[in-house]
A = this chain, B = another copy of it.
Amino acid sequence: MKVIVDLTIVPIGVGISLSKYVAACEDVLNRPGLKTALHANGTNIEGEWDEVFAAVKACHEKVHGMGAPRIHTNIKLGTRTDREQSLEDKVNSVVAKQQG
């Protein structure tokens, strides 16, 4: 089952600057089988369910390992059985409707 995810991690208890933790998580997500796209409020990820969630778990383990005692994470995820859809497809379908 393929899944498209939007992942936002919020390390808690490490002060106000979170970018180094997000960057470390990006490195963890950058693995074969996953396609990722960083945006201002999270990271979009495309891949097989088990691989995506293994990477999300590895991201939590990495960030805890960097010293964050607590992590709040948001995930939006979509699965569909009617057809294949990529990250690019999702943006393109909206843009096409705007231009139509």
Contacts and interface: CB of A to CB of B under 8 A. Distances in A.
Q: How many copies does the complex hold?
A: 4
A78 to B, nearest CB: 5
Interface of A: 1, 4-6, 8, 10, 12-13, 15-20, 22-24, 26-27, 37-42, 44, 49-50, 53, 57, 60-61, 64, 69-82, 87-88, 90-91, 93-98
The DSSP consensus for interface residues of chain A is mixed
A1 B94 contact: no
A30 B21 CA distance: 32
A17 B41 CA distance: 24
A12 to B, nearest CB: 6
A70 to B, nearest CB: 4
